[in-house]
Amino acid sequence: MLLIECPWCGPRAETEFSYGGEAGIPRPADPDALSDAEWADYLFYRSNPRGAHRELWNHAQGCRRWFVVERDTVTNRIAGSFRLDETVPVPASAAEKQPEQGD
């Protein structure tokens, strides 16, 4: 279970939060101007990186604020949590690669 730092409430257990997917995908200003492919890109396609990932979390059982977490998808290490009105620093480099085996 992750320990997630809410920018307001501090570190809380993952069970208090809900996940909101990849961060930094703005809604297109004029959806009608987009081709089907461009709209599909906004709607369905995500970067799904191996390493540093900016993602939205909601402190659902706490202050109900949405915020950005930078989490390494390999190690689950969290580099930082940021309010939506904060300038978010440049992403950390991808973490070391390690193959994972199933059981």
Partner 1 sequence: MAAGQANRLPRGGRIDRSRPLRFSFDGKSYAGYAGDTLASALLANGVSLLGRSFKLRRPRGIVGGGAEEPNAVMQVGEGAAARPNLLATQVELEPGLAARATRGWPSTRFDIGAALDSFGRILGAGFYYKTFKYPRAWWKLYEHFIRRAAGFGKAPDSPDPDRYEHRNAHCDVLVAGGGPAGLMAALTAARAGARVILADDDVEFGGSLLAGGDAIDGAPAMDWVAGAVAELREMPDCRLLSRGTVFGYHDHNFLTIVQRCVQEADAAAQGPARRPVAERLWRVRAKRVVLAQGAFERPLVFCNNDRPGVMLASAVSGYIHRHAVLPGRRAVVFTNNDSAYRTAIDLAGAGAEVAAIVDSRPGGAGAIGQRVKELGIPVLAGHVVSDVSGRRRVRGAGIARWTGEPWSAVEITLRIDCDLLAVSGGFSPAVHLHSQAGGKLEWDESQLCFLPGEARQPHDSAGAGNGKLSLGDCLADGLRAGKAAVEALGLNPPEIEIPATNESPAAPIKALWRVPAAKDADRCPKQFIDFQNDTTVADIRLAVREGYRNVEHVKRYTALGFGTDQGKLGNINGMAVLAETLGKPIPEVGTTTFRPAYTPVRFGAGAGESVGALYDPVRKTALHQWHEAAGAPMEVVGQWHRPRYFPRNGEDLHAAVARECLAVRNSVGIMDASTLGKIDVRGPDAVNFLERVYTHNVDRMKPGRCAYGILLGEDGMVMDDGVMARLAEDRFYLTTTTGGAAQVLDWLEKWLQTEWPELEVWLTSLTEQFSTLAVAGPNSRALLEKLGCDIPLDRESFPFMHVRTANLAGMPVSLFRVSFSGELAFEINIASGLAPDLWRKLMDVGREFELTPYGTETMHVLRAEKGFVIVGQDTDGSVTPVDLGMNWLLSKEKDFLGKRSLARPDCLRADRKQLVGLLSRAGCTVIPEGAQLIERTGQRAPVPMCGHVTSSYHSASLGHPIALALVAGGRGRRGETLFAAPPGREPIAVEIVSPAFYDPKGGRQHV
Partner 2 sequence: MSERIARPHGLEAFFGAAESASRDGVEIALLKNRGFLNLRLDPRRERTVKAAEEVLGQDLPLAANSFSGGKRRVYWLGPDEWLLETGAEEAGALRGELEAALAGHHAAVNDVSGGQATLRLGGPEARTMLSKGCTLDLHPREFAPGQCARTGLARATVLLACIDEAPTFTLIVARSFADYLCRWLANAARP
**E-strand stretches of 8-95:** 10-13, 18-22, 52-58, 66-72, 78-82
Residue whose CB is less far from partner 1, 48 or 100: 100
Token couple for 7: 């920018």
* Ranges within 39-98 binding Zn ion (CB under 5 A): 59, 62-63
Give the integer Cα–Cα distance in Å for 50 and 28: 26
Residue whose CB is less far from partner 2, 16 or 41: 16
Q: Is residue 3 within a helix (H) or strand (E), and if so which, with residue range?
A: strand 3-6
**What is the nearest approach in angstroms of partner 1 to the Cβ of residue 50?**
15
Residue 15 binding: pick among partner 1, Zn ion, partner 2, none (C-beta 5-8 Å cut-off by kind)? partner 2
* Ranges within 81-100 binding partner 1 (CB under 8 A): 84-85, 98, 100
6: left (phi over 0), alpha (psi -120 to 50) or beta: beta
The amino acid occupying position 53 is H
**By the criterion CB under 8 A, which residues form the site for partner 1?**
1-3, 13, 18, 20, 23, 26-27, 30-32, 34, 36, 39-40, 43, 56, 58, 60, 64-66, 75-78, 84-85, 98, 100-101, 103
